[in-house]
Amino acid sequence: MADIIAGVATSHVPAIGAAIDLGKTQEPYWQPLFKGYEASKKWIAAVEPDVVILVYNDHASAFSLEIIPTFALGCAAEFQPTDEGWGPRPVPAVKGDPELAWHIAQSVILDEFDLTIVNNMTVDHGLTVPLSLMFGQPKEWPCRVIPLAVNVVQYPPPTGNRCYNFGKAIRKAVESFDKDLKVVIFGTGGMSHQLQGPRAGLINREFDTRFLDNLTRDPQALARMQHVEYVREAGSEGIEMVMWLIMRGALDDDAKEIYRFYHVPASNTAVGHIILENPR
Amino acid sequence: MTLQQQFDDIPGTTLFDAQRSRQGYHLNMFCMSLMKAENRAAFKANEAGFLEQFPLTPAQRDAILKRDWNGMIALGGNIYFLAKLFSTDGLSFQHVAALMTGSTQPEYAQMMLNGGRCADGNRSKSEWQQRG
């Protein structure tokens, strides 16, 4: 049986990818941020997942305004990094897991989560920056990755509650797959940030801390939070945090927090990172 | 307050909703065209000429040519699409964020280093009006 053993949440700021790609991780601005991921890299190297289900959002890269899927699952064998306007990131191609991905698609659709199946797409910094933060700069990514893109650009994104319950359906799907696989699920984006308008630069450390606390204390309360509260309290782009609730929903109710890191700023953004493990 | 009023009450913030998406469709799709190197080159060589292939309103065309970022947002632009335009100009997210807030680059960068713009005092339009 395949098993989701842990969840990882992290911000996916593009400037972090640029800092890695340009060899700036030891510069004074970036050094504290990358130091915060050292323990996480060791943790995931020890866990050795077979597959990562990576929940992220596309930033007008693979999807423009022509097609806006609320949930899109990457079922291909390979995904190339997107050229986001300054050339693709120099990172390895992402190897998918078509068998498990198709199984998940079939299972969650029959569970009434009508996602979009994608056989051809590129993946942007939303997906590759979390991989770089957790795995560094290997020649090949050490595990297969199933991309799950969530619309958080066009209002309305799915509700937090929908995301939380979708996570539960994903877990059920994974657990009904009849191969022994260790799966880790990533929820990415956030934390508080606003990239547009006269209120750009908004950061809300109290909100972010409460959000991190409630991932273990009271995830149902997070699932009830309305979009308008995310935007008011965590900025227009802070609404991305609904994606963390897919990760949370896919774990046990009594999942344990084993690591947390919080840092301001990376460019315009509060970087939040947490690792939750299911009890064994 | 209705939900719309609650969103509208958040100061200095534009929600990319259905109405703005319809209004800004061609503006955003112009930006999307800049994902291709040959389009970036053609745009740089003749900005106004390149824009003729998109059915933009005169106000949208004007905002693009003047790089009026808040103007583009007000006319239906979305920041992740506008990113293709400012990347073509060689500008970063932080640079354009500073421009949209009316700060200089160093002031804005320092605000972020100091922990960012505090949520307190920035939740409702009445707070901004009181501040003047």
**Residues B31, B49: one domain?**
yes
Number of domains in chain B: 2
**Which amino acid is residue A75, in one-letter code?**
C
**Residues B115, B76: one domain?**
no
Residue B66 covered by a domain: yes
**Residues B86, B101: one domain?**
no
Residue B36 covered by a domain: yes
**Residues B81, B19: one domain?**
yes
Residue B10 covered by a domain: no
For A208-254, write each residue's pLDDT tens digit: 999 999 999 999 999 999 999 999 999 999 999 999 999 999 999 99
- Residues in contact with A206: Cβ distance below 8 Å, sequence separation at least 6, in sequence order: B119
Taking 90 as the threshold, does the pLDDT of residue A87 lie above it? no
**Residues B101, B128: one domain?**
yes
**Residues B83, B97: one domain?**
no
| ipTM given for this complex | 0.96
Active site residue A103: no
**Residues B85, B96: one domain?**
no
Cα nearest neighbour of B40 on chain A? A85
What is the distance of C-alpha B130 from the center of its chain? 26
**Residues B73, B61: one domain?**
yes
Q: Domain range for residue B55?
A: 15-90
**Residues B46, B103: one domain?**
no
- Residues in contact with B71: Cβ distance below 8 Å, sequence separation at least 6, in sequence order: B59, B62, B63
**Residues B38, B98: one domain?**
no
d(CA B128, CA B116): 17
For A14-67, write each residue's pLDDT tens digit: 999 999 999 999 999 999 999 999 999 999 999 999 999 999 999 999 999 999
For residue A1, the model assigns a pLDDT of 87
Cα nearest neighbour of B4 on chain A? A228
Report yes or no: A188 and A228 within 8 Å, Cβ to Cβ: no
Residue B8 covered by a domain: no
CB contact under 8 A, A265 and B113: yes
The CATH number given to whatever domain includes residue B37 is: 1.10.700.10
**Residues B107, B60: one domain?**
no
CB contact under 8 A, B100 and A84: no
Q: Is A8 exposed, middle or buried (0-12, 13-18, 19+ CB in 10 A)?
A: buried
Residue B64 covered by a domain: yes
Report yes or no: A219 and A42 within 8 Å, Cβ to Cβ: no
pTM over 0.80: yes
Q: Whole-number mean pLDDT of chain A? A: 97
Residue B21 covered by a domain: yes
Residues of chain B with Cβ-Cβ distance to A197 below 8 Å are 12-14, 70, 73, 100-101
| A268 touching B (Cβ < 8 Å) | yes
Residues of chain B with Cβ-Cβ distance to A232 below 8 Å are 6, 10, 123-124
Residue B125 covered by a domain: yes
**Residues B53, B41: one domain?**
yes
Residue B9 covered by a domain: no
Name the phi and psi angles at B127, rounded to 5: -65, -40
